[in-house]
A and B are shown apart, each in its own frame.
Chain A
Amino acid sequence: MTAAATKSTAHSIVEASPRAKAFASGLVILYAVITILPLLWIVATAFKSQSDAIAYPPKVIFEPTLEGYVNLFTVRTRQTPDFIAKLPPPQTWYDKLVRQRDMVIAGPSKVVPRFVNSLIIGFGSTFLAVFLGTLAAYAFSRFRIPLADDLLFFILSTRMMPPVAVAIPIYLMYRQLNLTDTRLGMILLYTAVNVSLAVWLLKGFIDEIPREYEEAALVDGYTRLQALRKVVLPQAVTGIAATAIFCLIFSWNEYAFAVLLTSGEAQTMPPFIPFIIGEGGQDWPAVAAATTLFVVPIVMFTVLLRKHLLRGITFGAVRK
């Protein structure tokens, strides 16, 4: 899109006038700035002290501190100043920071295990969904499958179902199978949701690879599977990567299934973040710190995916 934009000066009639462009750019930049402010506020809140975070009026200028991040990763207990004075001198900068608030670090918080769960469930389900999706998409793209249109609709419709409604029977089934609150259970569930997107997206990508390449390979004595592995897959790498990122983002962000079907062992970040509690309610700097860490990979992926974003959100139907 960027390349097209810089080269499009050729059309004089369709090209907007400089004044119209300036007007458009002003409005769009204004909207972009307003849209990004909430995110910047959260990033800033992560660096506020507890009292700055709940100050009235809200503070725009404040003294940055890493307390929010320290609180996110630790569990602390409040102690009397006398008790703290008797302790040996603090070993680390974060010990020191916590003791300034009359607290002592009692141990690590649950954020790391939750983050690890998000990673394992995210990558596990993405890998499975892309693997299954590639096979199915190839078959739908290259072979005549009876009732192909109906099957494709069936596959997509499973993704459209309301998650809370799906969770009711899944909850009962997982109880029977001992899959409640397990990573395996969540991986299977997210794979099922993602595979529909993967099939639709990848079918679009594979449709674009000319058949002639494979036909030539088949003539050269390759089997179908060899042709798939050595000719089609290398051509589809970009599409597979884009699909994988979409699946990863879904699993990473998913909340409804996670909150209804996990409680501890397999809990991921989204249901965990809102319940980061400090003394007297939500610990906003710590919540903001968790949100920042959670959102940064998504921002990076969005930039990476920019070219394929449209395809991803329309199940491969709109390409440019």
Chain B
Amino acid sequence: MDTMTTILQPDHATIPGVSTPAKSRAARRVHGLSDRTIAWLFVAPTIALLLAINIFPLIWMIRLSFTNLNLSMSYLPLRFVGLDNFSDILNDEDVWFRLQTTAQFVISSVALQVVVGFGLALLINRQFRGHSFWTTIILLPMMLSPAVVGNFWTLLLQPQIGPFNYLISLFTGVPPSSFSMTGQVSLAPWTIVLVDTWMWAPYVMLICLAGLRSIPDYIYEAAEVDRASAWRQFWSITLPMTVPFLMLAVLFRAIENFKMFDMVNLLTSGGPGSTTELVSISLKRAAFEKWRTGYSSALAIILFVTVFGAANIYVKTLNKVKQR
């Protein structure tokens, strides 16, 4: 945080004729609280809230992850089982399968969003008439509640009454009731990717657009003078200069989709069978349907660690982009 200079160490302090830093420091000692006290008073409530709502429960959960606690069988004596929960999870083929499903979902949805989002950003950057209005329209899906989106897409994707299958049949001639986007093992994984892309491609678009606009015109003008082709300009200027922004979008979407629960839970609720059972949905089942609290705490901790690592990289990228 380069702007973290205080009035005590003024870097641009002396405004001629107004004051000297020494004077203002003296003035403040007379009135009110010291800066140090204020700083702590202001930061403490936020930290306290986060400790109470996030960290304390987290520590409790770490403790639970070493126990056999099962809320549906709370008559059982609470036993410490050491690392049993963790070894159970890592040896469970189902868990690996869920992680694989999740990885496939994350990779394909983020890849599709990058293609669609970056493409749209390039087009919108041409600044045709009315581009601002149409951009706002395109942005709407990402502002909606994922749960509500998942829910209403089930109507749109109904094999007979939904308009989606009907439109597909208009273009391809396949009878609309012959396939089910949410009920078929071969289609359901693509359905969640499709709806997620509908929702989040605008997110990638918006960030890429900021990247494109951060490229100064004179670079293109120089390239033009050097007679670089449009193709060459794209590969040597546009793409490399947008990459940090793209990374930002990709990381954030990857983290968000890794923990995806709401939209998919309502769209397919993990089905058919367990074809779209992402790791969060599986965690919800273990914790809130089978009530295997000890086991699910251990799984939750594994997810925490993964997300925490990814978040670390994300924040580094954030700070890098900020300096642009």
Residue numbers of A with Cβ under 8 A of B are 1-2, 5, 8, 11, 13-16, 20-22, 24-25, 27-29, 31-32, 35-36, 38-39, 41-42, 45, 53-58, 132-133, 135-136, 138-145, 148-149, 151-158, 160-173, 188-189, 191-192, 195-196, 199, 207, 211-212, 214-216, 218-219, 221-226, 249, 252-256, 259-260, 270-271, 273-274, 282, 284, 287-288, 291, 294-295, 298-299, 301-303, 306, 309-310, 313-315, 317-318, 320
Contact = CB atoms under 8 A, between A and B. Distances in A.
B38 A158 contact: no
Interface string B288-304: 10000100110111011
B255 A291 contact: no
A223 B32 contact: yes
24 contacts: A21-B126, A24-B126, A25-B128, A25-B134, A55-B161, A136-B42, A143-B35, A157-B315, A161-B307, A164-B287, A168-B300, A169-B60, A172-B60, A172-B293, A189-B53, A195-B46, A196-B50, A218-B24, A223-B32, A223-B33, A260-B288, A270-B262, A291-B148, A318-B248
Interface in B310-324: 310-312, 314-315, 318-319, 321-322
Interface string B211-227: 00110010011001000
A136 B248 contact: no
A270 B147 CA distance: 6
Contact of A162 (B38, B207, B280): B280
Contact of B42 (A25, A138, A309): A138
Interface string B35-59: 1101111110111011011101110
Contacts, number: 351
B73 interface: no
Interface stretch (B13-21, B80-88, B91-99, B183-191): B13-21
B260 to A, nearest CB: 9
A197 B45 CA distance: 15
Contact of B136 (A11, A152, A169, A306): A306
A163 B134 contact: no
A22 B259 contact: no
Question: Which secondary structure dominates chain A's binding surface?
Answer: helix
A216 B140 contact: no
Contact of A173 (B60, B252, B314, B315): B60
Given A25-B131, A291-B151, A314-B321, 7 more contacts: A219-B23, A222-B31, A253-B145, A271-B147, A294-B148, A313-B206, A320-B214
Nearest to B284: A164
